[in-house]
Amino acid sequence: MCADSTVPLVSEIFGPSPASPGEGGSPTEAPQQGGRGRNAIRGVSVAAQFRSSLQSLLAELEETNPHYVRCIKPNLTKAPDSFDSFEVLRQMRYAGMMETVRIRSEGYALREDHASFFQRFSLLLNGDEREGGIERLFAVLSARLNVTEADWQVGHSKIFLKKGFADKLEVIAQLRA
């Protein structure tokens, strides 16, 4: 990505690093590209160390799935037992939480993995209906509750339900239990 940049400095920083002694390079090689790189007297340059470190960091970041935690401060004075609702609301708006809540309430409010969902709501099925798995569960519940496939979606690992359908299921499950 950055190694293919048209900016020479960026492509040089993110380009292939000089070969190390174990990779076919020799510690007695002459300095590369006008004094940059490594030789027997000077060792590895700071720029080469930085480039190597940056490349390993980027490789590690590309392999991870980061999750972020946003902290909300209850007041500006850091006083205990003091809650400033206007300040909390301001922070939540700034963090995009109000928009996230609105989108979730308009869209698929409930997101749950297959196994957990089936365990919670399979009690709404009769004995022979439980044999079909998650697809059978949705077919039966959709018919009983008069909802369409627009109210629910089955993903690879999670179930997505719109708020109205999720609320109906919760009420019925509580009544049945």
pLDDT tens-digit profile, the chain (177 residues): 677 778 877 777 777 655 444 444 444 444 455 555 556 677 778 888 898 999 999 888 888 887 778 888 999 998 999 999 999 999 999 988 888 787 777 788 788 898 888 888 888 888 777 777 888 888 888 888 888 888 888 888 888 888 888 888 888 888 887
- Give the predicted TM-score (pTM) of the model: 0.43
pLDDT of residue 74: 93
pLDDT of residue 101: 80
pLDDT of residue 16: 67
Q: How far is CA 146 from CA 20, 150, 166, 167, in A?
A: 67, 12, 13, 14
pLDDT of residue 158: 86
pLDDT of residue 105: 73
Buried b (16+ CB within 10 A) or exposed e, 37-60: bbbeeeeebeebeebeeebeeeee
Q: Which residue has the tokens 């997101």?
A: 111
Q: Estimate the crossing angle of helix 114-121 against helix 163-176, to 10 degrees.
A: 50
Phi-psi region of 173 (alpha: psi -120 to 50; beta: other; left: phi over 0): alpha
Single-letter code of the amino acid located at 94: Y
Reduced 3-state DSSP string for 127-151: HHHHHHHHHHHHHHHHHHHCCCHHH
